[in-house]
Amino acid sequence: MLLQKIGNDLVIAQREKDLLKISFLRFLLAKIHDLAIEKGKDRKLPDEDITQELSREVKRHQESIDAFRKGGREDLVQKEEGELAILESYLPAQLSDSQLENIIDEEVKKVGGDFGSVMKAVMAQVRGQADGAKVAQFVKRKLNEG
């Protein structure tokens, strides 16, 4: 379903002659195709695999934006930010801090105070909706409080 949406958006971008979007969506489709080959599947990846790959790309783009800002390359920052906006449009909405804290509280009650167990349980629930580093930070803070 997600793969089909990206393909449809590529066709729309071609009609609108949006060069940045065309270029980036082609790159994205190639990445997804490579992932399908890597997993040994015939281009029928589940949406969660695609979402995981999109999340990795978001992280790469954020790192690139930081590096280009430090290097004073505003032209590249703008390009990366444009691509990042395209990527984020395909990802599920991110959880708010309070929603994430509620999920962590529930899992701490269920699993106990072991960091690894809590992280595993929380990440299973929030995959694609929260950054792992942010989850780890919240879990550490919660476990240190209680």
- Reading the block at residue 55, the tokens are 């999340």
Do residue 24 and residue 83 come from a single domain? yes
Q: Is 94 helix (H, G, I), strand (E, B) or coil?
A: coil
DSSP state at residue 91: S
Where do we find the tokens 């595993």?
A: 120
- Report the alpha-carbon distance of residue 19 to residue 21 in Å, rounded: 5
pLDDT-derived band at 42, boundaries 50, 70, 90: low
1-33 pLDDT, tens digit per residue, is 888 999 999 999 999 999 999 999 999 999 988
Name the domain count of the chain: 2
- Report the alpha-carbon distance of residue 65 to residue 49 in Å, rounded: 25
8 A C-beta contact, residue 92 and residue 54:
no
Do residue 47 and residue 74 come from a single domain? yes
Do residue 126 and residue 73 come from a single domain? no
pLDDT given for residue 43 in this prediction: 58
Task: Output the domain CATH number for residue 21.
Answer: 1.10.1510.10
Full domain range(s) for residue 24: 2-88
Do residue 130 and residue 75 come from a single domain? no
pLDDT given for residue 100 in this prediction: 86
Do residue 31 and residue 80 come from a single domain? yes
Do residue 78 and residue 129 come from a single domain? no
